[in-house]
């Protein structure tokens, strides 16, 4: 396999390259502007060439104060190219260099561009919350419509990775509106493609395909080969949902060939994983294993944990399909361990960053104190020379006053230093506490997922249908609790989460678990944005799990089309949950069992009420109301 065209030793030779390039005649400002525009245009299509152009800008404008703006843009373009070629350590160095050249000048356009770059870097490092913070800072300073459209798109992508599809759709539509207003066909095509992905995630495949095909037509008109492959990749996912595996494989092989031609490691590994998953779906186990092993080699070479987790999960599915449950569980544990190591590394990096900042502040204070002492000493010498020409007794008086001032300044300084050190230590202790709490929730989630996986393996090996069914029910209940702890360690508050996002992910999991796509059953969720307390989230999650499961198992004996609706809202001081289906009704469903008894017990635990409704349109509905303990947030993004 060819390695990326931007080798790792390239950045190590960066100072020498800059020196050699600087030996050429200094380029005029218009030339630097043209080079930067070309570098930006090639940022994703050919990041290696983009990096070379950026280096030319940096070298040519190095000694010209008039070219400072273009030089700063060169550092921005170089950082983007490094991120695209997975040189994250080198990208971090260039990101800091760009900051030092941009922030002191306080030019809004450059400050905005740097903030968006920082967000993009954090996005690639999987710090989505941090990425959104910098994207919004960049958006606030941005005045160029074309750049605003690009920022809207980045924000939409970040929200989609958080599975907040409502906000993702909102920002994709804003990006499309900007493209329409200024005639930016590239932005319009990207926005249509991304909007299609939202409808794909919402399982509305016909609508998703319509957006993908609109995007493809625009890109064909522009002869945008890279964009066309992106749209085709999404259409391939629709083929996969329609079980047209031959069409999907053809597209992914074309994308893999193009990624090799462009020396783009991230696209290479993505296509490799996709081909392996498609081979596995067609029960071509041997071919699938070869593709997964290829992907694992590439992942190890670029050291990107996100892809390693995907590969381990695919290998776990492979060994499960071949009946090797021991290896399936082993790779599942590897995926979890990879996530754990990332969390621990992040914690260590945060602690080291806090310590480094503290030490830098202390050094700056010591330098300032030495400067002050030097100034005082110089002043004392000058005064002494002047006073020697006068009376000796005046010299002693001034010396005594100067010494007293120095002693007082020293006492005040050391007192202030002690207070600052104490404050810094308290801040570091608080940060450490938050990291530990997140670690606890993360490990609880992992342990619950491990128990869920063990139950899944046991149910697959069970010869008794009733035993397998009971194990599946227990697995779903445990997953609802694991999902809750996952949301808690991702939450800024660590004690409350978004009730809306939790309901949507739980419903999505149960829909996959009961094959809702094939059964043509749709689950819709409407929820107010509620920051619910953990003491109420646990019973709520179990209640929703039982009632949704009950509808999926018994309301549609002959499958769909059918719909299950979940609505959550606030009425005064109470929270209301309305769960309904348009199935066979209570007479056609299974008689009340342990699940409904559990629901009644959990409602009593919430000090609430439950009503069984009989909709005029048929089906079954439940209305649950209980007093809501709203969690008061103390910090916002």
What is the tens place of the pLDDT at every residue in 400-447? Answer: 787 888 888 878 877 878 777 777 767 666 655 666 565 666 666 666
Cα–Cα distance measured from residue 510 to residue 494, given in angstroms and rounded to the nearest whole number: 25
Cα–Cα distance measured from residue 380 to residue 382, given in angstroms and rounded to the nearest whole number: 5
Give the count of beta carbons closer than 10 Å to the beta carbon of residue 614: 10
- CA geometry: angle 273, 7, 335, nearest 5 deg: 30
Cα–Cα distance measured from residue 77 to residue 12, given in angstroms and rounded to the nearest whole number: 18
The 10s digit of each residue's pLDDT in 236-276 is 888 888 788 888 888 888 888 888 887 778 788 888 988 99
Cα–Cα distance measured from residue 541 to residue 571, given in angstroms and rounded to the nearest whole number: 20
Task: Name the pTM for this structure.
Answer: 0.43
The terminus-to-terminus CA distance of the chain in angstroms comes to 43
Q: Are 596 and 560 in contact (CB under 8 A)?
A: no
Q: What is the CA radius of gyration of the chain?
A: 31
Q: What is the mean pLDDT of residues 46-72?
A: 81
- Per-residue pLDDT band at 355 (split at 50, 70, 90): very low
In this predicted structure, the answer to whether residue 377 has a pLDDT above a threshold of 70 is no
Q: In sequence order, what E strands does 219-330 have?
A: none
Q: What is the mean pLDDT of residues 498-505?
A: 82
DSSP string spanning 369-381? Answer: HHHHHHHHHHHHH
- CA geometry: angle 147, 153, 156, nearest 5 deg: 145
Cα–Cα distance measured from residue 194 to residue 211, given in angstroms and rounded to the nearest whole number: 8
């Amino acid at each position: 396999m060819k390695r990326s065209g931007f080798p790792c030793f390239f950045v190590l030779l960066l100072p020498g390259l800059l020196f050699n390039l600087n030996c050429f005649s200094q380029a005029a400002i218009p030339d630097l502007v043209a080079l930067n525009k070309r570098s930006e245009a090639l940022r994703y299509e050919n990041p290696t060439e983009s990096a070379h152009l950026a280096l030319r800008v940096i070298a040519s404008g190095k000694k010209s104060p008039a070219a400072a703006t273009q030089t700063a843009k060169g550092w921005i373009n170089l950082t983007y190219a490094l991120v695209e070629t997975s040189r994250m350590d080198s990208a971090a160095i260039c990101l800091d260099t760009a900051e030092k050249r941009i922030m002191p000048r306080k030019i809004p356009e450059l400050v905005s561009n740097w903030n968006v770059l920082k967000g993009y870097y954090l996005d690639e490092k999987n710090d989505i919350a941090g990425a959104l913070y910098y994207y919004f800072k960049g958006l606030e300073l941005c005045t160029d419509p074309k750049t605003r459209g690009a920022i809207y798109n980045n924000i939409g992508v970040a929200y989609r990775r958080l599975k907040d599809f409502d906000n993702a759709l909102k920002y994709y539509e804003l990006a499309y509106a900007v493209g329409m207003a200024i005639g930016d066909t590239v932005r319009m095509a990207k926005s249509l493609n991304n909007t299609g992905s939202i409808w794909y995630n919402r399982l509305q495949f016909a609508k998703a395909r319509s957006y993908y095909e609109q995007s493809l037509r625009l890109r064909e008109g522009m002869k945008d080969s890279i964009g066309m492959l992106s749209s085709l990749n999404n259409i391939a996912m629709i083929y996969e949902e329609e079980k047209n595996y031959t069409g999907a494989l053809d597209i992914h092989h074309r994308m893999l060939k193009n990624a090799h031609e462009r020396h783009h490691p991230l696209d290479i590994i993505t296509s490799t994983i996709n081909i392996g998953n498609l081979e596995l779906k067609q029960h071509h186990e041997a071919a699938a294993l070869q593709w997964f092993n290829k992907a694992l080699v590439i992942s190890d070479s670029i050291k990107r944990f996100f892809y390693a987790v995907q590969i381990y999960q695919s290998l776990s599915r492979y060994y499960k399909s071949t009946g090797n449950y021991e290896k399936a569980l082993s790779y599942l544990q590897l995926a979890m361990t990879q996530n754990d190591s990332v969390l621990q590394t992040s914690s260590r990096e945060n602690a080291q960053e806090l310590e480094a900042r503290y030490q830098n502040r202390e050094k700056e204070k010591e330098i300032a104190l030495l400067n002050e002492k030097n100034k005082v000493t110089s002043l004392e010498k000058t005064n002494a020379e002047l006073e020697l020409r006068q009376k000796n007794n005046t010299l002693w008086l001034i010396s005594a006053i100067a010494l007293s001032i120095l002693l007082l300044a020293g006492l005040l300084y050391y007192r202030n230093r002690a207070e600052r050190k104490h404050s810094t230590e308290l801040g570091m202790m608080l940060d450490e506490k938050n990291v530990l709490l997140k670690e606890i929730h993360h490990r609880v989630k992992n342990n619950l997922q491990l128990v869920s996986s063990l139950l899944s393996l046991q149910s697959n090996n069970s010869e008794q249908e009733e035993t397998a069914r009971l194990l599946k029910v227990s697995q779903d209940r445990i997953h609802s609790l694991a999902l809750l702890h996952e949301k808690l360690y991702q939450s800024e508050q660590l004690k409350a989460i978004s009730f809306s996002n939790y309901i949507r992910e739980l419903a999505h999991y149960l829909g996959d678990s009961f094959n809702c796509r094939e059964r043509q059953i749709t689950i819709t969720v409407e929820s107010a944005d509620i920051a619910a307390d953990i003491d109420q989230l646990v019973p709520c999650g179990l209640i929703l799990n039982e009632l949704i499961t009950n509808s999926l198992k018994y309301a549609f004996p002959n499958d769909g089309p059918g719909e299950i609706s979940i609505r959550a809202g606030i009425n005064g001081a109470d929270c209301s949950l309305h769960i309904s289906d348009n199935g066979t009704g209570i007479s056609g469903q299974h008689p009340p069992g342990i699940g409904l008894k559990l629901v009644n017990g959990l409602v009593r635990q919430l000090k609430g009420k439950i009503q069984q409704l009989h909709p005029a349109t048929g089906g079954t509905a439940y209305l649950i109301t209980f007093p809501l303990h709203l969690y008061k947030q103390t910090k916002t993004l």
